[in-house]
Amino acid sequence: MLSTITSPTALRRLPASRLPALAAEIREFLVTQVARTGGHLGPNLGVVELTIALHRVFESPHDTIVFDTGHISYVHKLLTGRQDFSRLRSQGGLSGYPSRAESEHDVVENSHASTSLSWAEGIAIAHQLKGDRQRHTVAVIGDGALTGGMAWEALNNIAARKDLPLVVVVNDNERSYAPTTGGLAEHLSMLRTTQGYERVLSLGKRAISGAPVVGRPAFETLHGIKKGIKDIVAPQGLFEDLGIKYVGPVDGHDEHALEVALRQAKGYGSPVLVHVLTKKGKGYRPARQHADDQFHAVGVINPETGLPLEVSGRSWTDDFSDSMVALGQERDDVVALTAAMLIPVGLRDFSLKFPERVIDVGIAEQHAVTMAAGLAYAGLHPVVAIYSTFLNRAFDQLLMDCALHRAGVTFVLDRAGVTGSDGASHNGMWDMTLANVVPGLHLAAPRDGEQIELALRRSVDITDAPSVIRFAKGNPPAPIPALEQHGTVDVLHGPGEEHVDTLVVAVGSMVPTALGVAARLEDAGRTVRVVDPVWALPVGADVVQEARRADQVVVIEDNLVSGGVGSAITLALQQAGATAPVRPFGIPKEFLDHASRGQVLAAIGLTPDAIAQALLA
């Protein structure tokens, strides 16, 4: 049946009696296909009926549907005619997120949460100002993403626009990556578990079933019944207190009930919030049996058992996790903060050992960073562990709350550099450029797993400035020992203090690439020394001294080539009067298409062969 659904129009023509079979077929398709490629499996299994109902009630692209975060868009892709998942998240295949290049039905491409309500309000106001009042806008946001401050800024504005045809669908599965935390989660839980309210509400629906529940009068009748019931059996709803009409909770796996609720919301003509209860991993036993969310995003797995078919090995994150536990045992002033990513950033073991010293703020990086400044002021040393790409969201807090106040806060940035398959918004390619403009900040990019512990121990001793430790996604290389140390610089290859043709400054995970470049240059008759600055920012005097013993300096980093470590070294040499020219190699200032990390690096010329050829040319 799925192959016949080439567009939402075809879906709307399908008899309602066939929708359960379609939902089952979609789940089977997702498990089979995502098991081969990897991807966000659990979240998409949970929104099958919801996505079907959305496309039957609203007419995309005439009506605009915005998916928050976007990793729940797989079902949406299937229902809008994209059913070749054979190269999902691979070069030349479908993106793991909405993509305007793929379809007119896709709107917001980035994978950063809590943005959908702002997008949707802007789109809805634009339609209104242009005089097109027959178009509806829908924002689908998870309960986890609803913890983000930006979502509440948008709700505050949406509530004031009483005539805006905007529907907010809260996909409440009690989780983001991990269980949703905070006061909002408790409030949604209260609404979710008020069974008496639901039973009486169903009677109210039947009582007015003789009239179509689609226009404003009918909706207000139902709403009045519901409000009176809620005042009896449940506290007044938070959203209605804000001035936003509330519908729900609705069973997110009852397609008919979803259509009824969405048509009610569509007919009202002003901001309405539809509260939908879903189960992450619905219909797939392995996903439902694992509460630790290992099926949120999977690699290649056996679809029958859910077990991985590829052995991933020890990751950079594992080395950080072990280092944090060891440090926590030695120092009781070290506390950890995470933004709804406790497991992915490697804080689970620390939380098991020291549960009172871990704070999960939800999807609220800005809040986490400023709170960390407060923790530091009060005598603790906070370690903020987030993905590199999410530091973008908290730059003002890093600059004005941490750096300006000289707060001893450590930032541990996982997935730094090119991450590949998750696409443009997940690459951690901006963090060193951002860090480079922050006064007093210290930044380390460990070259292997052993260096992570050394960097972390040094970092928590810095009490008068923020510090950053960044590392890549995946597996670190085997330990790369220093041949010798020149002050704060580790010499990894080449003659000690002799003058050389080329000094290669290698940053973090690019050290193996730099060693490959050195080998190729030496084959061509050049003399080369490769050094790791260890602490890349600020640029140390020892790096300047190394540069004075070379005809040229090459900097290799997996960060924007503009504004990163290469730029910082160029400025440092100019200020010191050193004359060696600097040749930086990094990521160009452009958004990168999804592909494997190796394919992306090859495409942008960050390989030993490409760099060596450029230098020899």
CA distance 475 to 472: 8
Q: Active site residue: 109, 198, 259, 365, which one?
A: 365
Are 245 and 218 in contact, with CB atoms under 8 Å apart?
no
CA distance 289 to 304: 13
- Count CB neighbours of 516 within 10 A: 17
Q: Phi/psi zone of residue 217: left (φ > 0), alpha (ψ -120 to 50 degrees), beta?
A: alpha
CA distance 276 to 125: 25
Distance of CA 377 to the CA centre of its chain: 29
Q: What is the token pair recorded at 521?
A: 């240059």
Residue 111 marked ligand-binding: yes
Residues contacting 61, CB < 8 A, separation 6+: 104, 105
Residue 173 marked ligand-binding: yes
Residue 251 marked ligand-binding: no
Q: How far apart are the first and last CA of the chain?
A: 57
CA distance 535 to 537: 6
Are 283 and 296 in contact, with CB atoms under 8 Å apart?
no
Are 345 and 413 in contact, with CB atoms under 8 Å apart?
no
Counting beta carbons within 10 angstroms of the beta carbon of residue 483, is it exposed (0 to 12), middle (13 to 18) or buried (19 or more)? middle
Amino acid letter for position 500: V
CA distances to 30, 87, 418 from 595, in Å: 20, 10, 10
Helices (H), 243-387: 255-268, 285-289, 316-330, 348-353, 365-377
Q: What is the token pair recorded at 159?
A: 């509530």
Q: What is the 8-class DSSP label of residue 137?
A: E
3-state SS assignment for residue 560 = strand
Residue 145 marked ligand-binding: yes
Question: Is 365 in the active site?
Answer: yes
Residue 351 marked ligand-binding: no
CA distance 49 to 253: 5
Our CA angle for 475, 478, 482, nearest 5°, is: 130
Q: Active site residue: 135, 280, 470, 597, which one?
A: 280
Residue 71 marked ligand-binding: yes
Residues contacting 218, CB < 8 A, separation 6+: 208, 211, 212, 267
Are 490 and 584 in contact, with CB atoms under 8 Å apart?
no
CA distance 257 to 263: 10
Distance of CA 71 to the CA centre of its chain: 9
Question: Is 135 in the active site?
Answer: no
CA distances to 328, 471, 488, 494, 511 from 504, in Å: 36, 20, 16, 10, 10
Are 319 and 453 in contact, with CB atoms under 8 Å apart?
yes
CA distance 59 to 132: 15
- What kind and span of H or E run contains 203? helix 195-207
Q: Active site residue: 393, 473, 529, 597, which one?
A: 393
Residue 365 marked ligand-binding: yes
Residues contacting 67, CB < 8 A, separation 6+: 73, 76, 98, 108, 116, 140
Residue 144 marked ligand-binding: yes
Binding-site residues for Mg(2+) sit at 143, 173
Binding-site residues for thiamine diphosphate sit at 71, 111-113, 144-145, 173, 284, 365
Binding-site residues sit at 71, 111-113, 143-145, 173, 284, 365
Active site residues: 280, 365, 393
